[in-house]
Structure 1
């Protein structure tokens, strides 16, 4: 069994990955911050916690001793930040710092990139692209830009000799998500979703959380995969149809549509309210709405062939997901500010 260092282990994807690797018998070392919530792991053994920050390379050197493998999941994934430097400091500098210590210590790196690093499909095309697609010369938001540049840093270190595999998850859905698309599921199930701006015709690659975890864990011991990238995708579906399917499974009315321009006005109001309040992230941003003008269809063909990757049918995945949100709402109510995976003192 391997001794594995994990960054971002307390996030939406990190928590089930930690549990999966722990169940396989691996010894885990989690890089956490002082206020990280580690309660999801309270019943697990063979986990060590190291306080540090991917932006501080000095704090990383103390984590690498006796490590056989690194999973780097830490990233700034929120739709907005008052301090835009958070995106570059975490998604670019953080990735480079991890790559640097991995190369210096000859430790393989499993790097979680993003669909954003690949970019949207060519204009007016719904043909799925893959991990070899070259990003076009514009970026919709800071997240997409910095995930692309972070991925480029990893490639630079691969050229220097770093043994690494790059993962490109699509739009991940599943139990426990309270980021923007998870909030959409929550609000639809709770009967409080305001609606979808535009016609909902853009195609998104929606991937079930468990599939992503299985794909990421299947690379252990596969030295033949170093230097390669893999899309961890799912079904490609129009965003409007995706939200309608959630509503159907939840037994509520389909989300209404409203003009894009009205959505942009609402998003600007949300952003302004965040700037002048203690709210950390707006519910929606103009960039996010503009991103729905593009198709994000991806193919997992190579991942299926080389990793034995399996895609859960979207109705099946959403049925499990909706049930989780229903149970959560029944236990906690409909106010998101009082629920979700929140940061707690140890």
Structure 2
């Protein structure tokens, strides 16, 4: 499990590929809504938790269609699916307060997803407290925070969040963060909802203090999108595709064919990492159009959260509020 990934569905696929057996204690179901694929991974036992290195809980993965960022109607469809999946794990009464936290560094585009989402969240807690007569009774109190990162503030993100939680006492936290994937095709095209909280920076080997119900005392739902992939993983997968094509076109039983089949892919992966590290270190790669993509994904996620947290309002009402 040396390949970095924050996605539970990828961790499951990787474990089963490497061990050639099904994981005990991990349940998965798949379904589709039009062009949108939804996978639900449930880690239910300690064995499953150890196998994929994810805490026991539910991980919902939404695979967005290709070119979604150029399709306004398609973005709305993904936001609706996200809101429905998010609503299925939110346990809040109308009067309860939700705190939305955008993790990440707003100065680095692939890591700016969280703060960008926060800028589009419908915040209402101050209105419910200061001018309650001017807004509908069905509107839920929501507050938002973009705490920055340790290198900008000198404080652990979880320390900032814990201080806010102790002061305003929300009933639920929704965290948004950029993740890392092991497959390039999942970068900027997958949304994961997790019920077990989050460890900021873990996908790029920079694990910070955990943000979870265990550390904060209230439920924490994590929403993440993989925005980067490890360069060594890309090189490894590319060479695997080349080898598979060479095996397919080689004469079965021949000396060259046997040599290709005998290559240990795990050893090859270690060799690639050792060769690349002196030159590029732990290089993470993101697509060149990341600015536009992060902006559109932040709209998708913000709309999904707004709809889920304000069930008394429709999308048009929410958009009017944000104008």
* TM-score, normalised by the number of residues in structure 2: 0.30
Higher helix share: 2
* TM-score, normalised by the number of residues in structure 1: 0.28
